[in-house]
Amino acid sequence: MSFRSWFLVFILATSPLFAEDWPRFLGPRHNAHSSEMGFAVDRAPKLLWSYPKGRSHTAPVVVGDRAVLVHHQDGEETIDCLEVSSGERLWRHAYEVTAGQNYGIEDAPRNSPVIDGDLVFILGMAGDLTCLRLTDGMLVWSKNLDDDYGSAPFFFARGSCPLVWKEQLIVNVGSNPCVAGFDKRTGDFLWGAEHPWNASYASPVPAVLHGQERVLVFAGGMSDPPNGGLLVIDPVKGGIESEFPWRATNFASVNAASPVVSGNEVFLTEGYGPGGVCLQFAPDGLRPSVRWEAPGFSAQFSTPVAHGGLLLGFSGASESRAELVCVEIFSGRELWRDGNPLEVEFDGRKLRVFLGRGSLLVVDGKLLALGEQGTLAWIAPEATGMKVLGLSQLIYRSETWGIPALANGRLYVGENDGGDSRLHCFELPRVSP
């Protein structure tokens, strides 16, 4: 390695850019992009620690030396704060919640906490909206959305993360109102936007469309007949500016992947009917219209990523039939899809695994994919096809569905396997000088 290359690696490894918090489930910019650099994609991560937990389909959020996760254990919805270097628990906040069951599937937390400064926000399975202090876990305020605004129907309990927007906490309540804004420091109700669409499993994201700050809510949960779609919210006025219906006609369906923003365009995808659609917005009134449709881009729950003029994500409603799809954002032209199994070594044996309905991060210009059996793959986001740069099996557990958290060179992966679930912390290897 030349001196210039060595010096560049040294700067990246010691620069503040290398260390970045992951305060919400889609990362610091709400788009699953990380600014961390300098990872060795051809080497396997090192396991630092594992923390026993209950059921959950989420990864933690990480700020500084603290990681916060939510899980359901011994009849309680449990929020644990861990010290990131050791995995030791610093504090715990728990309350009783009865986990239901639908379609033979037991309820489990599906939404991560959100950290904003010294505040931690959690929207629980049964509608408990809670604010805790990050330093010690002390309760700042709490309310129950079902008690205050009426119950909202869900297949598997609530699963949408709240959104911190400036001094507000914005929530897809899903009842009366559909979307609400609360004072993040007190929990006081600020505004409510009425709409007949129910709360989905997709989390609200912020967007700047034609220079105007808006919040995008992809609503649509358990309803008969099924309904749902995109709501464009003006968070200052607290009202719905425009809407776009997009939902399968199948009753047993939900909208679960968050909207993907690319400039003044927004991509929506669902896994049970019409698939994907790219919307463009008129500058006057931000009215959406269809730019292109992608019926074959049907993400069941994982949110796609936009990078370098490409849109990439996992499409399909089962592990063996899911595929990684690449679409050109400008035209909507599908460039490739790949659902082939991968061969990887784990615990002294060779495995044939699918990435399935995996999760994607964009890291240092590459895709970091976590498959639903715990497979980690570095992928080159090229327009010509799927090129795997590095492959390792972190764990071998089904339902590894939650998007991982990447903070300060550590990757946090949560598993969900009944009474023997764990949160794992891995160190990603760095490029050697």
pLDDT tens for each residue of 145-159: 999 999 888 888 788
Does residue 42 lie in a domain region?
no
Beta bridge partners of residue 261, listed in sequence order: 266
Residue 418's pLDDT is: 63
Of 15-29, 82-96, 114-128, 254-268, the poorest mean pLDDT is in 15-29
Does residue 394 lie in a domain region?
yes
Question: Which structural domain range is residue 361 located in?
Answer: 302-400
The answer to whether residues 66 and 54 touch, using CB atoms and an 8 Å cutoff, is no
Q: Which has the higher per-residue pLDDT, 288 or 433? A: 288
pLDDT of 216 higher than 50: yes
pLDDT of 4 higher than 50: no
**Amino acid letter for position 185:** R
Buried b (16+ CB within 10 A) or exposed e, 348-384: eeeeebbbbbbbbbbbeebbbbbbbbbbbbbbebeee
Of 1-10, 32-41, 416-425, the poorest mean pLDDT is in 1-10
Does residue 316 lie in a domain region?
yes
- Work out whether strand 168-171 and strand 410-414 pair parallel, antiparallel, or are unpaired: unpaired
For residue 251, give the 3-state DSSP assignment. coil
Please state, rounded to an integer, the average pLDDT across all residues of the chain. Answer: 92
Residue 282's pLDDT is: 92
Mean pLDDT, residues 326-331 taken together:
96
The answer to whether residues 198 and 146 touch, using CB atoms and an 8 Å cutoff, is no
Residue 323's pLDDT is: 96
Residue 307's pLDDT is: 96
Mean pLDDT, residues 332-355 taken together:
95
Task: Give just the sign of the alpha carbon dihedral 16, 58, 146, 80.
Answer: negative
Residue 19's pLDDT is: 78
Closest by alpha carbon to 74, among 58, 55, 93?
Answer: 55
Give the Å distances, CA to CA, from 153 to 47, 225, 256, 405: 40, 13, 15, 29
Confidence grade of residue 18 (pLDDT, cut at 50, 70, 90): low
Neighbouring C-alpha atoms within 13 Å toward the C-beta of 232: 25
Specify the residue for token string 């463009």.
Answer: 280
For residue 75, give the 3-state DSSP assignment. coil
CATH number at 329 reads 2.40.10.480
The answer to whether residues 406 and 51 touch, using CB atoms and an 8 Å cutoff, is no
Does residue 350 lie in a domain region?
yes
Residue 284 CA from chain centroid, whole number: 31
Q: Which has the higher per-residue pLDDT, 59 or 393? A: 393
Angle at 195 between CA 192 and CA 198, to 5 degrees: 100
Question: How many domains is the chain partitioned into structurally?
Answer: 1
Strands (E), 186-237: 189-193, 205-209, 212-219, 229-234
pLDDT of 9 higher than 50: no
Count of positions (residues) in the chain:
433
Q: Tokens representing 123?
A: 């929207």
The answer to whether residues 426 and 410 touch, using CB atoms and an 8 Å cutoff, is yes
Q: Tokens representing 360?
A: 């994607």
The answer to whether residues 71 and 54 touch, using CB atoms and an 8 Å cutoff, is yes
Residue 383's pLDDT is: 92
Residue 59's pLDDT is: 87
Residue 77's pLDDT is: 95
> Count of H helices and E strands in the chain?
2, 37
Residue 315's pLDDT is: 95
pLDDT tens for each residue of 61-112: 999 999 999 999 999 999 999 999 999 999 999 999 987 766 667 778 889 9
Does residue 433 lie in a domain region?
no
For residue 149, give the 3-state DSSP assignment. helix
Mean pLDDT, residues 296-315 taken together:
95
Q: What is the DSSP string of 34-48?
A: E----B-TTS--EEE
* First-to-final CA distance of the chain: 7
d(CA 81, CA 84): 9
Does residue 258 lie in a domain region?
no
Residue 128's pLDDT is: 96
Does residue 333 lie in a domain region?
yes
pTM of the model: 0.94
Residue 102's pLDDT is: 67
Q: What is the DSSP string of 399-414?
A: ---SPPEEETTEEEEE
Of 16-30, 68-82, 261-275, the poorest mean pLDDT is in 16-30
Give the Å distances, CA to CA, from 116 to 7, 139, 336: 35, 15, 38
The H or E element containing residue 296 is none
Confidence grade of residue 318 (pLDDT, cut at 50, 70, 90): confident
Contacts of 166 (CB under 8 A, 6+ apart): 235
Percentage with pLDDT > 90 across the chain? 81
d(CA 219, CA 202): 7
Q: Is 140 left (phi over 0), alpha (psi -120 to 50) or beta?
A: alpha
The answer to whether residues 393 and 351 touch, using CB atoms and an 8 Å cutoff, is yes
The answer to whether residues 412 and 405 touch, using CB atoms and an 8 Å cutoff, is yes
Q: Tokens representing 150?
A: 């009426």
Residue 267 CA from chain centroid, whole number: 15
